[in-house]
Chain A
Amino acid sequence: MKIKRLLSTLLLLCISLFANEKIVFGVNPYKSLTELHMIHAELIAYLEKELDKEIVFVVSKDYNHLLTLIEEGHIDIASLSPKLFATSRQKGMQTHYLATFKINDDQEHARCTYHSLIVTHKESSIQTMSDLKHRSFGFTDTQSTSGYFYPRLLMRQNGIDPQKDLGKVYMLKKHSKIIEAILEKSIDAGAFYEGTYMTLAKEKQEKIRILATSEEIPYDAMVASKRLDKALVSKIHDLLLKFHSTQSKPSSIAGFGEKPLFLYDKLNQLE
């Protein structure tokens, strides 16, 4: 499936090179392709209508790959995970910050920040963070803010060295996969962003025990390639801030807001 996705991405990129009227929109592979399509469908439709341009939706192979695609000019606008955005800024990558996603929480409140959670199966003997020692653990991606960096920070804050104290460590990429793997008891514990938890069915939520919750993390940042026309960047910026989703279900895109960039930059301090 990855290869298929890659090929489709490349195909779309090729198309985009020869079609100026198209805007290529890239996202991180934090969910399955179908889920990502569903999440972004309304936004894409909105932009297409307002800009009168076709939006080509691209999911990168992995987190870092999205940066490469932006750098190489294959992607015009992108949704970057907070840590990835911070990393890109640290690397001095020339992008325009457009806006920060607002996501609906389970109370139907649109929020620009979220939390990372460390969870385990309710039937597990792990009761506290300290019980994670020598237990298998599932992260999403080494570039994921809520699926890797914050959980590691939480571990360190609880006296666990994620490098040494954990048992087997697995990279599951998708946040939902962490949940399923825990429910399947393939891994003892895992980390993901709270939106995943919010969208879970009640009975599944009841099978999960939350061990730790991180501080507030700004949601993904929408950025534009430096190669994109400034007027167009400005127009997209305005359009994003005007966007208000008709959906209100948990974890769906509610709209966009502007956040100070230092909130992202401080994520660079995470290991």
Chain B
Amino acid sequence: MKLYDKILLLTTLQIVAIFIFGIYQIQSLYLTQKKAFDQKNLIQIEMIQKRFEEKLIELQKTAHILINSQEVITGILSNDTDMLYNWSKLFLSSSIDKIHFIDLDGTVISRGEAEFRFADDISKQFYTQQALLNNTFLGIDRVDGEECLVYTERVKQYGEKPIGIISVALVIDHEFLSSLVEGTTMSLAYQSEHQSISTAKERTLINASSLSLMLQSGSINDATFSIGLTSEKELLALKEARTNFFLGIALALIVLVIALHFTLLKYLKEYETLAQVLIDFYEDRLDIKDVIGKIKLSIHKQPTTEIKKIAEALFNMSQKVSDTQNALELLSSTDQLTALANRRKLEEYLEQKLKESNRGNFFSIVMLDIDRFKVINDTYGHEIGDHVLIHTANLMQSVIRESDMLGRWGGEEFLLILPQTNLEGALVMAEQLRSKIYHYQFEHYPQRVTMCLGVAEYRVNDTPNSILRRADHALYRAKNNGRNKVEYEN
């Protein structure tokens, strides 16, 4: 696996692990919050239930206070509307809307909420009848045309003799429902056969449940108090926050992986390129020159100093290796005296030309030998002999084409390989060489130097030996024909 892939995979795994932990934490937090939300709702429902019960208790308590007042008893006995009105007015509050004093015939003696309205017959009212029959009534009934929570109790003189009835009522209206749910996030709805009211703007309540009420069944049917949430805004906000967190995390994960990918690409690609160059070199897919070339190219693209330094170091090392290799190669293929190609190099080149000739190329060779070179050595010494060899080589080198290869075949004998040259061209070149040498005045050798040159043209199915033999035969003939000649073997 590539270094890039390894780092990307490992880092991605770690990031994913961190994010999974984050998601787990968010989910845990959400569940905790959801639990708290449900708990809060439950507490609120209980609170509203309690408030409702307190309202009922308040009704009963007020009725009991009034019932136990001697003045009220006197007032009922004497039909003292004014006194009863004054007493009841003291107890009217946000929890009590109506206080009625009723005689045993079911006629209203006084209304706390309406000073001048009394003396009407309400004996047919369910709550009046219930109080007359069962002593008390606590339930829902219509009082003066309004649906109320009503508590009714018989008033007894000396605790025994019934003298009248007190009814204490709280109108079931929007205000009443609002007072119960005030300060909470809950909504309360009242539904009966006659009316339907709610503190919620929307008709339907979410997660609605009924308030548990210990009320006596009254004349109002299907009366229920439902409590529930108007909207799940809070919960939805919680869910939305969770979703946003998740989306944020997913997005962050993607962004991080992409960022990681590009960072790795940016910083590892060059390392990888350098490593690949070295691997290719190691596995012989590249030679040292290619390595140098590739590293040289990458040096200019390096984004960081660190990689640039490494690349430069590799470049210098490769350069040194290349130089050493070149030096060694040169050493192994060059004649030390004349700096021309040595025999091995000539043989390799000849082999090469023969292979190329099989694909249609042609060439010629010229075998060259300095005439009577032994005399030069013997007469003027080896130093002058070497001087002649060096300058002869230089002269020939100056004449031949760049594509031609001239080398020292051995002693005073040279071999010239002429690619893409037929016999005629080779003869022209050979004659130029002979003439050049012949007319050249050596610095330390006063005599003319002559050469014999044997030319041979490539033939089909030639081998190195066969073509060299023909060139050699031509050279031999030039020697035999008086030297300083060009001969060819046709």
Contact = CB atoms under 8 A, between A and B. Distances in A.
Given A168-B107, A170-B81, A180 B89 contact: no
Given A1-B89, A2-B87, A3-B90, A171 B116 contact: no
A35 interface: no
For B71, B81, B83, B90, the residue with the greatest tally of chain A CB atoms inside 10 Å of its CB is B81
Contact of B79 (A1, A168, A174, A184): A168
Contact of B116 (A3, A169, A181): A181
A177 interface: yes
A180 B83 contact: no
Contacts of B89: 1
A172 interface: yes
Interface in A172-191: 172-174, 177, 180-181, 183-184, 186-187
A127 interface: no
Interface string A132-146: 000010100010000
A177 B78 contact: no
Contact of B119 (A3, A136, A142, A171): A136
A211 to B, nearest CB: 18
A139 B149 CA distance: 33
Interface in A142-201: 142, 168-174, 177, 180-181, 183-184, 186-187
Given A1-B89, A3-B90, A170 B115 contact: no
Interface in B75-93: 78-83, 86-87, 89-90
B118 A2 contact: no
A244 to B, nearest CB: 33
B119 A168 contact: yes
B119 A173 contact: no
Contacts, number: 56
Contact of B117 (A136, A171, A172, A184): A184
Main secondary structure of the interface of B (DSSP, over half): mixed
A171 B118 contact: no
Contacts of A174: 82
A181 B118 contact: yes
B341 to A, nearest CB: 138
A186 B79 contact: no
B117 A173 contact: no
Nearest to B87: A2
Interface residues of A, number: 20
Interface string B104-141: 00010100000111111000000000000000000000
B89 to A, nearest CB: 6
Nearest to B120: A186
A118 B84 CA distance: 24
Contact of A2 (B86, B109, B115): B86
B116 A170 contact: no
B107 A171 contact: no
A142 B80 CA distance: 10
Given A2-B86, A173-B80, A187 B115 contact: no
B83 to A, nearest CB: 7
A64 B259 CA distance: 99
Contacts of B80: 170-171, 173
A181 to B, nearest CB: 5
B317 to A, nearest CB: 111
A195 B119 CA distance: 25
Contacts of A180: 115-116
Contacts of A3: 86, 90
Nearest to A183: B116
Nearest to B111: A186
Nearest to B108: A186
A183 B114 CA distance: 13
B285 to A, nearest CB: 112
Given A1-B90, A181-B118, A186-B118, A173 B107 contact: no
Nearest to B107: A168
A183 B115 CA distance: 12
B82 A172 contact: yes
A6 to B, nearest CB: 10
Interface string B333-364: 00000000000000000000000000000000
A172 B107 contact: no
Interface string A1-36: 111000000000000000000000000000000000
Contact of A1 (B71, B81, B86, B103): B86
Interface in A100-158: 136, 138, 142
Given A184-B117, A187-B119, A172 B87 contact: no
Contacts of B86: 1-3
Nearest to A142: B78
A171 B115 contact: no
A46 to B, nearest CB: 30
Contacts of B115: 177, 180
Given A1-B90, A3-B90, A177 B116 contact: yes
10 contacts: A170-B79, A170-B80, A170-B81, A171-B79, A171-B80, A171-B81, A172-B81, A172-B82, A184-B117, A186-B119
| Smallest CB-CB A-B distances: 5 pairs | A173-B82, A180-B116, A184-B116, A2-B86, A171-B80
Given A171-B80, A172-B81, A181-B119, 11 more contacts: A1-B90, A136-B119, A168-B79, A168-B103, A170-B119, A171-B81, A180-B115, A180-B116, A181-B81, A186-B117, A186-B119
